[in-house]
Amino acid sequence: MSIGFDGKVAIVTGSGNGLGKSHALALAARGARVVVNDVGGDRNGTGSSTEAAKEVVATILADGGEAISSGANVANYAEVEAMVKETIAKWGRIDVLINNAGILRDKSFAKMDLDDFRLVMDVHLMGSVNCSKAVWEIMRDQNYGRIVMTTSPSGLFGNFGQTNYGAAKMAVVGLMNTLVLEGSKYNIRVNALAPTAGTRMTEDLLPAPVLELMTTEAVTAGALVLCHDESPNRMILAAAAGGYASVKMFETDGIFLAPEEQNPEKVFDSLASIKDAGQNVPFESAGKETEKFVTKAMAYVQSLKT
């Protein structure tokens, strides 16, 4: 099947460099009209410039595509609203949002200043919240929307020195999970990309031969799958160096303890059974997880009556 975006309007945040730039160029090459958003700071969030975004726009225009630039700070909702209003005024709709903007302020938790923790959370988490909120009613009204969150292996699995980044990247998965439920009847699909690529965010973290394998284009191939007409919904797609995998959150089947056994000693003694992953279950909502436990408890109550 051919994946195209003719007639679609896409906003890609943090698209002046790196992965965002790769996403924006690929969307435009496949027919999308693209808002290239980038505040223009360095990777730790300091400074600002419109030049990087404008250069990406110039490349798209030179290749015959349509694009505009935006210097909106995704952590500032008023600036995001203004970007969205400008997009609607120019093209009349917004079909795709890729929440890609991010910064790094890495330190061990013991040495990390809380201001650095908050700033990373503001850009990654609140930036994704702000942009998703600003386009949500538009997507509902047009009965179509594709939103991609950018999570990370650092959030899904942890990475030393990245408590702020990891917390934010796990938080956007929680945001995705509920937006999927709220957007489904409006044909709004929400997915998450868990990328690793050779960009300025990782250039001093990995050796050069490894970075050469980890192209941004390889990740973008996965990103475009998450935001086209026939995209999946609620998928976490890991992508790096030409490898693609689905990341899922499972819960073990667990155990049930009768009321007289519901004490910490019995729970501790049952840890092996509790951790047994033989019947892992992915849940569609928190209510489904509660239903599992209540069903076990009701079965116990029923057994007392028979």
Domains of the chain by residue range: 9-247, 259-305
The alpha-helical segments, DSSP class H, found in 122-270 are 127-142, 153-156, 163-183, 208-213, 216-225, 264-269
pLDDT of residue 302: 87
Distances (CA, A) of 290 to 66, 258, 285, 293: 48, 17, 9, 5
Catalytic residue among 144, 165, 186, 244: 165
pLDDT band with cut points at 50, 70 and 90 for residue 215: confident
Q: Is the pLDDT of residue 48 over 70?
A: no
Query: 62, 115 in Cβ contact below 8 A?
Result: no
pTM exceeds 0.85 for this model:
yes
Percent of the chain residues topping a pLDDT of 70:
95
pLDDT digits (tens, 9 = 90+) for 73-119: 999 999 999 999 999 999 999 999 999 999 999 999 999 999 999 99
Q: What's the CA dihedral at 292, 293, 294, 300 to 10 degrees?
A: 110
pLDDT band with cut points at 50, 70 and 90 for residue 292: confident
Q: Among candidates 63, 178, 73, which has minimal Cα distance to 124?
A: 73
pLDDT of residue 291: 83
Cβ neighbourhood burial of 63 (10 Å; 0-12, 13-18, 19+): exposed
Active site residue 77: no
CA–CA dist 34, 276 (Å, integer): 47
pLDDT digits (tens, 9 = 90+) for 261-283: 999 999 999 999 999 999 888 88
What is the chain's Cα-based Rg?
A: 22
CATH code of the domain made up of 9-247:
3.40.50.720
pLDDT digits (tens, 9 = 90+) for 7-36: 999 999 999 999 999 999 999 999 999 999
The alpha-helical segments, DSSP class H, found in 9-76 are 18-29, 51-62
pLDDT band with cut points at 50, 70 and 90 for residue 200: low
Average pLDDT, the chain: 93
